[in-house]
Structure 1
Amino acid sequence: MTVISIEERLALNDLMTDYCYAVDALSDLDALLDLFTDDAVLDFSDIGLPAMNGKREFRGFYEGVFADMSHHTHYLTNFRVGSYSGNAATGLAYVQGLGRSKEGNEVLVHVRYEMDCVKINGEWKCQKYCIRQGMPLPGSLNEIHGER
């Protein structure tokens, strides 16, 4: 078990929760991107979506997501700290994500989030974010987001 103060654990959990709220709002791309370091990596390849390097690539991806989707909701559970060394940590969680595209397609996924985080000026930021399969993925995920 990783030894970490409750304040640090909560701050890391809040970073992951803030990501869910930002992506679910489908409206404030800058708030979403502010959760990441400038050189962050997003790796969604385990669920058939792209791996991306840096906020510029993220912006293009999330602009498409925000344009395509009418609704998003993510439920985060089983949060734990996988590693911690003062200014670096990994947060892990199970996530159920639901969405509806503006075309009416629906998607429900059961995945795991893995966020490698760094503390910059006293604030946690995500430096690497991976989504891992939890349950077999529905074909609708690729129908909605597969062409990015």
Structure 2
Amino acid sequence: MCIRVCINNYAYTQKIQTYNIQLGGNYMQRFLAIFNKALRQSIVVLGLMLLISASGLFFFTQQPSYAITSRANQLTPEEKIDRAYEYSEATGLREEDRQKAYEQAVEDSNKPQTVEKTYERNLKAEEQQNQNSNLLEQAKELVDRVTTK
């Protein structure tokens, strides 16, 4: 009976050792499969990052060429006015006024004696634009006078 127990015990330990070896091999295979998958995914991610970086280099090289237009592509003042009239008549009128003001400013900047006249003309124009605010200020003063009496 002792021999039978010893043999059964030995057989049992052999089964456990065999099972552990198989189980350990299975864990190793799982580990290698997971590691292989992670390695492939990281290679794919790095490849995509490299591709995006390379495409960005080609994309941004065109940008500075749009910053400055050549003389051939710039519109003349008449073309600008015509283009503004294509949008609406009011836009065309504003563009004409803007162009006249620009030409006047160029003329005034060339003559030193007209700089003061230009300043006075600009001051009068600003006063005319701000007449509404002056009227409001006068109305406030009137209300203050009436309420204080």
Q: Structure 1-normalised TM-score?
A: 0.21
Higher relative contact order (CA 8 A, sep 6+): 1
Q: Structure 2-normalised TM-score?
A: 0.21
